[in-house]
Structures are given as structure tokens and as C-alpha cells.
Amino acid sequence: MEEERAVGTPVLRRLNTASVLRAVRACAPDPVRLAELVELTGLTRPTVGQAVEDLVEAGWIQHDHPAAASRKGGRPAVRVSLRGRAAPVLGLDVGPHTVTAGIDDLAGRRLAAVRRSVEHNGASRLLTVVDAVIARALEDAGLAADEIAAVVVATPGIVDPGSGRILLAPSVPGWTSVNLSDHLRDRFRCPVRVENDANLAALAVARERAEAGTLLAVQWGERLGAGVVIDGRLHRGTGSAGEIGFIRPSGRVPDTDDGRGPLERAIGAEAIAEQARRAARTHPGSVLRDGPVDAAAVFAAAAVGDAVAERVVDDVARTFAHAIAPAVLVLAPDAVVIGGGVARAGPVLLTAITRHLADLTLAPPEVGISGLAEDTILTGALSLALDEVWHQLPA
Amino acid sequence: MEEERAVGTPVLRRLNTASVLRAVRACAPDPVRLAELVELTGLTRPTVGQAVEDLVEAGWIQHDHPAAASRKGGRPAVRVSLRGRAAPVLGLDVGPHTVTAGIDDLAGRRLAAVRRSVEHNGASRLLTVVDAVIARALEDAGLAADEIAAVVVATPGIVDPGSGRILLAPSVPGWTSVNLSDHLRDRFRCPVRVENDANLAALAVARERAEAGTLLAVQWGERLGAGVVIDGRLHRGTGSAGEIGFIRPSGRVPDTDDGRGPLERAIGAEAIAEQARRAARTHPGSVLRDGPVDAAAVFAAAAVGDAVAERVVDDVARTFAHAIAPAVLVLAPDAVVIGGGVARAGPVLLTAITRHLADLTLAPPEVGISGLAEDTILTGALSLALDEVWHQLPA
DNA sequence: GGAAGTTTATTAAGATCTTTGCAAAACCGG
DNA sequence: CCGGTTTTGCAAAGATCTTAATAAACTTCC
């Protein structure tokens, strides 16, 4: 319980080497000249030299002496670059139907990426696939489990921040009884962290944007969740932050007893399709009468001006806007970013949401669509894993 | 634009003196022995001695050599204590009808507290009172304006985080055209910060609680606002965070065009009274038929079991719970704390809100009433002002 | 091919700060 | 008045960064 902040001269060295390492990291995968580091850090050459020596010895960076380009007179510079292999991290996205694994090195290079779909729904089957995907990813990257420096797993459901246990996961039967966290901790000799998938998607979106202010990143598909990023940091609250699927919209909501929340039942992907089917039955002119109707078809029809589809989309947008408006008022986020399957709806949905939100809030946030592909969650997991490593670097 | 993080040996001294000063501060108004500081900081005696010497010279701390108690053999210890006078701060709570000023010294001692009510509503009149209250507070504390080290002003309305200008203030006519920030900056030679009053109340409540996690602190009176504290820090968002008064509740809302938000018109103090009056007219048995009815009377009647009042209170609680439920789901706060005039309603309202929230959220937060008196906002302002001073202490 | 010029690395001396160890001081109790 | 105890004070040593001067390596020009 002691503060134990031993401050002697050695801490200066630690401070400065950390500073140099940060500078090397900032130059990403490119090698950097020593003189450049001097400018970046504001330290003097001898100090930087000492720090670089220490860092090379510790294995964090490596010399890059094949003196490449930039020849314009003068003694050739010693150049160093981040030694990515020093601390590769593993990211996992465990979805109900798909398991994705990725391995990044310290420099952010992707060493492996494996995706496999899960045929039969169920927790034990899912766990088997997780193990297989991890094994394959490690093989692809040419790494042993011991070499991994941090693991972050994305899972649907609510995760207890302390233990990493999954407290609630309606989309995967039996998932709460599997102790994923302990299972992985046995395999890896490094920090393992389990996190809600929407949270990690939010983190990925926030990192993609230049200024990471306050962000509400919605994952909208069959289910509905959100991640909250505040000043660039993930917000967890008591653990279940961002569970917008359980917001109760004002209208009537179908009462399916499958563990989903009211808002999900009202405007989840399937609910959107169902709403459109009902509307189409009474309006013969709509293109939605032909063929099977899913959410994508509704948005496509609205995009080309189908009146029935347009009204459904507007209804959905209104319900969504009314649902999140209180949260937007309380948080005053810079942006609300939508990802997930419904995000593919594009501008049709977006403009409708923007319009309704403008009416309901004081400082309407920018409403956008996540620019990241389906790797969003994985990217967030890897990003958090890298954070973890960088956070505890001065070992 | 340079990082300019010059790291030489002198920074160690700065680091350590700051550490010592923090330790002295932690011992609050009590003097502290030098040997104690050695244990608290983990530094060595000569280092602490040097730091103390520097701090005394700079005026931050002072010797307390009247060797008081704790005589149990041995050479009498040199004892030092925080020199509060070194940096007194001014806090202001500018309400529509009342202006309060307080001056705290560094050690948290209250040097002055002045409250004055404003007869005639209006911006220019208000500004005059502000100046008078400041003058009186300075006089009481025996200080000149130049000696104040930080000023924080609480005002209703939305404050632009950058400029400190007031962007929206329905309760004070003309208040937005007064540049309060610049007005005060002219008088004081120190940082002046203008902040929304509900935000500062939230900060005060958060500081009062032991663990400052995530907190939604509602100010509920004629108007309705909230402050958001996340991990102990005030959250501003784009500037208008916490404006729950503008949440649109699901029912019908009276359309008074006085700049108030929908939720305020629905369940503000006056709206509660009006709701009760209407209900009482059709229910002869209620005690609310006798005499004038205000919000306090409604809650009092409900507390003693009046059926009509109970239903009104339950209605109000339901409306409130439904309004903030989405925000509670998104934030997952540890607690929702209610302050302001309506908070005096006590358990009657509280239990009703708790009940409704439990039904609408996943991890129902603790619902409580602010334990602080009507000085809540002032306390928050002073707290933030002290933060400001401590933040920039190693000048 | 050699000299000049440019950029970078290396080395040594100087300055600052913390730490360690020992001696002196001040006070209490007997 | 004298030991015991706690604290302070001082001087030397250790570690680090900085300044400044020197050496190295390479390009370019003549």
C-alpha cells in the first residue's frame, strides 16, 4: 500500500529512454535517424545515444544499418527502428457465427489474420473454434504462445470488468458458463483481457478519427450495442456501459422472449424487415412486394425512392433518434458513428437520423458511418492490446 | 509547437518538491513532521530537507515551530504546514436570484462566504451584484484581487468551453450578451473559468463521495440540469453535456415558450405543483385542496400517504426515470445523485425513481440525494479552482 | 584522385541532484 | 547531571545529463 515512488537519478534514465522509445514508435514502421530522435525528444545526442543503446540491448529496437536513401553528404546516420517481434499481441473477435483472430507486432504490422465461421451455435463448439483459430494464427505468424505479450478478446454480451467473466450474452447459449478469461490465461503467459465487442469497435473508430474526443459508436445489426469513448479512452462505467439495445422506445415493442432488449426488438435488422413486410402488404405499389425482404432490401428500396420503404426507414430513424437522444444530450458527443450490418444502409438512414437528432438535441453531433470494414472489432481489440503493452513498457 | 520536454537533472528536483508539496497537502490543515514526509514520499531526509527549504522560500509552506504535542523524547521535530494564504481561490455561484461567493485558501479553509439575493431579474443588475459580492468577500478575507490565484464561476446555461462565453441561459434574460468571462479577467490577474452550475454541483458531489467513479448528478428545481463526472473528472463533451432538461419525455408536454426544455416543462418544480393542483380538483379527499400547492407540499402530502399526491409523485418519478434511462444505460454510472429544490422531497421520490429505474436498466445505479447543503455549487466551484491551482503549481 | 564541406558519432570535463554514512544537536526521563 | 532517543546537519560518493571539443565517414566539387 506504500506509494513507493523511489525517485533517484536512475528514474531520469528510465524517463528518457521511455521518451526515446515513444519517439521511435511515433515514426511507426519507418526507421528513424538518431539525429531525428534528438530533435523529436528534445534531449541531447549523448543521452539519446545511451537510451538507444539500452533499448537495443533490451530488444525493443534494432539497428537498421543498411544505409538506404537520404544520401546528401555527411557521415551516414545510424538508423534504428522498432523491433516489432519484441512484443506481438493477439486480438480475438468472438462473434456468435464467426471467430476472427489477428496478430500485430509492436509496429502495428499485421503478422496473421484468421477467420473461421461457426456452423453450430453453442458455447462449447465456439470455444473449440476459438482454440483452433488461435493455433492457426500463431502458426501463420511463426510464434509460440509464450511470445505473445498481450491478449484482448472481443465478445458479445456484458463483461465483468474485474474478473473478465461474461455476465450476460443472449446471442450465444451457454456462453456465460464458459470462463473464457481463465481458459486463455492458462494458455498465455501475459495479460488477457475480455471486453465487449461494441466497446472495441468504438475504440477502433475513435482511433481512426484524427481527434479522439467523445464518441458514441453504435453497432447496429440484428442486435444493437454501443461503445462509449470519452477523451480517447474507453468508458466502461460499472461494466455495462453502452447497452443501448435495452433502451425502451416509446412505441409498442414485440415481446419476443429471447433475451434481446426492447430497442433491438423494435429496430434490429430483422425488425426492420418485418416492419417493411407489413407495410408492403397494404401498399401494392411498393417494390418490396416482390421477393424476400430483408433490411438491406428495405434500404435499397428507400434509396431509389420507394415511398413505403422511405416511410419505414424514417420510422426506424425516428425511433433510433428518440432512443439515443437522452444519451446524446447527457454526453454531448462529437460524433455518433454507426457500424454493423445496418450501417451498409448508407446515406438514406444517416440523413434521416441526422434530421431527427437535430430536432431533439441542443448540439447535434456529427452522424457518420464507420469507415472500417468488418475487421472493426478485431482492429479495436488489437489496438487495446497494443495499448496494454505500451502502458507497461518500462519493465 | 515544440514538445520541449527538456529533461535534465533539475527536473528531478521539481518532481521531488512537487511530491513533497503533495504530501504536505495530503496532511491537510495539520502541520506535519519532516520525518513523516520522508516516510510519505519515500524520499531521503536530505532530499526532503532541500525540497522543504525551497517550498518555504517560495511561500508554499511555512514552519510551524511552536513545538506542540507529541513530546516523547528525542530532538524536537521541525514541522511544516501548508501556507494557505499562498494561493487563495475565489468561487462564485451566480444564480438567477442569488449570488454566492466564497474564498478558500490552499488548505481548504474557508476565508469568506457571502450570499446576496437579487431582487430584479436581469443581466446588468446581476452583474452589479456579482461585483458587490466579490468586493465584500475580498474584504472579509482581507485580500486584494491580485492575490487570488484562481477564479471559477458557476452560472446557469451552456458555457462555451473555450472562450467561457455563455451561449444559452433561458433563466436570466440578457445573460448571453454579458461577457462575464472577460469582465472578470479584467479584475483578476489569474485564470478565470466559467462553468455550468450543474457541472460544478456534480463535481462537489463526486468529491464528497469516497470513490469517484462515474456519476450523474442532477440538479432538479424549477429547471433541470445535470453534471457528468467520469472517473472523477468533469465531462463536458462539446460543451453542453448534461442538459437533461431538454430530453423530450414520451407524454404530452405543455408548450410554454420560455426557453425551457421539454422535461423541465413536464416535471420541473412548478410543473409538479400544477399537476397536483389539477389532480386535486377531481379528487375531493386530497389534502392538496387546502391552501396553496407547491412542489414541497406535494411531496409532503405524499409522505403522509395522500393518495392523490402519491400518484403525482409516482408519475413524476416515472417520467424522470424514463427520460434518463437511456443515458443511464449508455453511461452505466455508479450513482445518480439528485440535488436542488426537489431533492428535499426525500425518500418518497427517491424510492419511486429507484423502482422505475430498476425496471428500465440493466445495472440500476444507486439513486441518492446530495448530502451537501445549498452550497453545493459553490463547493464545486471552489474545488475546481483549487484543482486549477494545484495543477499548475510547479511554476 | 584529392581537398573541402557537411553531417554525425565519440569522448571528456563540468554541473546538478540524490544517496549514504556519520556526527552533532536537542529534549525527555531518571 | 547523564544515558536514551529522535531528529537534524554535513561531507563525500554515485549517477545522470549537458556542454564542448574532437574525430569519423561520406558527398561533392575541382
Per-residue pLDDT of B328-387, as tens digits, reads 999 999 999 999 889 988 899 999 999 999 999 999 999 999 877 778 999 999 999 999
Please, where are the H alpha helices in A30-98? 34-41, 45-58
Q: How far is residue B378's CA from residue B373's CA, in Å, rounded to a whole number?
A: 10
Residues 46-105 of A with CB under 8 A from B: 47
**Total CB pairs under 8 A between chain A and B:** 166
Dihedral sign (CA A23, A27, A32, A35): negative
Which among B12, B237, B327 has the least Cβ separation from residue A326? B327
Reported confidence tier of residue A258, pLDDT bands at 50, 70, 90: confident
Residues B243, B199 contacting (CB under 8 angstroms) = no
Q: Could you tell me which residue, B30 or B393, shows the higher pLDDT?
A: B30
Give residue-wise pLDDT tens across range A320-333. 999 999 999 999 99
- At B1, is the pLDDT very low, low, confident or very high (cuts 50, 70, 90)? very low
What is the C-alpha to C-alpha distance for residues B85 and A382, in angstroms, rounded to an integer? 50
Confidence of residue A121 (pLDDT cuts 50, 70, 90): confident
* Tens digits of residue pLDDT in A94-109: 988 899 999 999 988 9
Q: Between residues 350 and 389 of chain B, which touch chain A (CB distance below 8 Å)?
A: 360-363, 365
Contact A202, A227 (CB under 8 A): yes
CB-based contacts of B380, cutoff 8 Å, min separation 6: B154, B199, B200, B201, B202, B203, B204, B205, B207
User: Are B192 and B181 spatial neighbours (Cβ–Cβ below 8 Å)?
Assistant: yes
Confidence at residue B5, expressed as pLDDT on a 0 to 100 scale: 56
Identify the pLDDT of residue A178. 86
| Residue A69: pLDDT band with limits 50, 70, 90 | low
Bases in strand D with any atom closer than 7 Å to a protein CB: 4-11, 14-20, 23-28
**Arithmetic mean of pLDDT, B161-181:** 86
Which pLDDT band holds residue A255 (cuts at 50, 70, 90)? confident
Residue B101 has pLDDT above 60, yes or no: yes
Q: Kindly state the average pLDDT of the residues A335-343.
A: 92
A70 vs A27: which has the higher pLDDT: A27
Where does the pLDDT of residue B153 fall: very low under 50, low under 70, confident under 90, or very high at 90 and above? very high
At position B173, the amino acid (one-letter code) is P
A111 inside 8 A of chain B by CB: no
**What would the mean pLDDT of A247-252 be, rounded to a whole number?**
90
Helix or strand run (H / E) with residue A195: strand A192-196
Instruction: For residues A347 and B93, give the distance between their C-alpha atoms in angstroms, rounded to a whole number.
Output: 45
DSSP state of A175: G
Contact flag, residue A47 CB and nucleic strand D, below 7 A: yes
Q: What percent of chain B has pLDDT above 90?
A: 62
**Residues of B with CB below 8 A from A323's CB?**
326
List of residues 6+ apart from A25 with CB closer than 8 A = A82, A106, A107, A390
Give, in Å, how far the C1' of D30 lies from the CA of A69: 26
pLDDT > 70 fraction of chain B, expressed in percent and rounded: 95
Q: Is the CB of A392 under 7 A from strand D?
A: no
Say whether A327 and B327 touch across the interface (CB within 8 A). Answer: yes
pLDDT in tens, A362-374: 999 999 998 777 7
Chain B contacts of A170, Cβ < 8 Å? none
Neighboring chain A residues of B214 at a CB cutoff of 8 Å: 235, 237-238
The residue behind cell 474507453 is A234
Residues of chain A with C-beta less than 8 angstroms from the C-beta of B7: 12, 15-16, 19, 42-43, 47
Average pLDDT over residues A11-20: 91
Eight-class DSSP state of A83 = -
pLDDT-derived band at B71, boundaries 50, 70, 90: low
Would you put residue A388 in left (φ > 0), alpha (ψ -120 to 50) or beta?
alpha
Cβ separation B238–A324 shorter than 8 A:
no
Total residue length of chain A: 395
Q: Is the CB of B71 under 7 A from strand D?
A: no
Residue nearest the C1' of C24 (CA based): B75
Give the CA count within 13 Å in the CB-facing half-sphere of A195.
32
- Dmax (CA) of chain A: 82
Q: How far apart are CA A121 and CA A97, in angstroms?
A: 7
Cβ-proximal residues to A135 (8 Å cutoff; 6+ apart), any chain:
none
Residue nearest to nucleotide D24 (CA to C1'): A75
Give the best residue of A238, A324, A356 to mutate against chain B (max B CB count within 10 A): A238
CB atoms within 10 A of CB B381: 35
Length of chain B: 395
| Chain segment A222-240, per-residue pLDDT in tens | 899 999 999 999 999 998 9
Nearest to B248 by CA among B267, B266, B262: B262
CA distance B8 to chain A (A): 8
Helix/strand/coil for A117: strand
- Cβ of A326 and B247 within 8 Å? yes
Q: What pLDDT score was predicted for residue B72?
A: 67
Q: How much is the pLDDT for B65?
A: 67
Residue A48 has pLDDT above 90, yes or no: yes
Residues B282-301 as b/e (b if ≥16 CB within 10 A, e otherwise) read eeeebbbeeeebbbebbbbb
**Protein-proximal nucleotides of chain C (any atom < 7 Å from a CB):** 5-12, 15-21, 24-29
> Which of A5, A11, A331 is facing B330, going by the closest CB pair?
A331
* Across A108-117, A258-267, B27-36, B49-58, least confident range: B27-36
Q: How far is CA A394 from CA A17, A60, A390, B177, in A?
A: 9, 11, 8, 52
For residue B117, give how far its alpha carbon lies from the nearest alpha carbon of chain A (Å). Answer: 30
Are B331 and A327 in contact (CB < 8 Å)?
A: yes
pTM of the shown model: 0.90
Helix (H, G, I), strand (E, B) or coil at B7: coil
pLDDT value at position A5? 55
Mean pLDDT of B251-259: 82
pLDDT in tens, A296-325: 999 999 999 999 999 999 999 999 999 999
Q: State, as a whole number of angstroms, the distance between the CA of A40 and the C1' of D22.
A: 25
Q: Is the CB of B33 under 7 A from strand D?
A: yes
| B79 phi/psi in degrees, rounded to 5 | -120, 140
- pLDDT-derived band of residue B394, with 50, 70 and 90 as boundaries? low
Q: What is the C-alpha to C-alpha distance for residues A79 and A88, in angstroms, rounded to an integer?
A: 22
Give me the numbers of helices (H) and strands (E) for chain B, helices first please: 12, 15
Nucleic chain D contacts, protein chain B, residues 77-96, CB cut-off 7 A: 77-78
Q: Summarize the confidence of residues A201-211 as an average pLDDT.
A: 90
Contact A237 B247 (CB under 8 A): no
- Give the C-alpha separation, B111 to B89, whole Å: 10
Q: Region B172-186: what's the mean pLDDT?
A: 89
Chain B touched by A43 (CB under 8 Å) = yes
Name residues whose C-beta falls within 8 Å of residue B186's C-beta, 6 or more positions apart in sequence: none
Cβ of residue A13 near strand D, that is under 7 Å?
yes
Residue B211 touches chain A, beta carbons under 8 Å:
no
Beta bridge mates, B86: none
Gap between the Cα atoms of A152 and B201, Å rounded: 37
What is the distance in angstroms between the CA of the first residue and the CA of the last residue of chain B? 20
Residue nearest to nucleotide D28 (CA to C1'): A73
**B191-215: string of b/e by CB count within 10 Å (b at 16+)?**
bbbbbbbbbbbbbbbbbbbeebbbb
Of the candidates A117, A116, A130, A200, the one whose C-alpha atom is nearest the C-alpha of residue A372 is A200
Query: What is the DSSP secondary structure assignment for residue A244, as one 8-state letter?
Result: G
Q: What is the DSSP letter of A282?
A: T
Which nucleotide is nearest to B33 if distance is taken from CA to C1'? Answer: D7
B15 part of contact set with chain A, CB < 8 Å: yes
- The verdict on A253 touching B (C-beta cutoff 8 Å) is no
- Asked whether residue B2 carries a pLDDT value surpassing 70, the answer given is no
Q: Is the CB of A10 under 7 A from strand D?
A: yes
Distance B75 CA to D1 C1' (A): 18
pLDDT of residue A90: 98
Check residue A392 and give its pLDDT. Answer: 79
Q: What is the mean pLDDT of chain A?
A: 90
pLDDT tens profile B119-128:
877 788 889 9
User: B90: buried, middle or exposed (CB in 10 Å: 19+, 13-18, 0-12)?
Assistant: buried
With CA of A35 and C1' of each nucleotide, the nearest comes out as: C8
Contacts of A259 (CB under 8 A, 6+ apart): A168, A170, A171
A219 forms bridges with which residues in the sheet?
A225, A339
A333–B363 C-beta distance less than 8 A: no
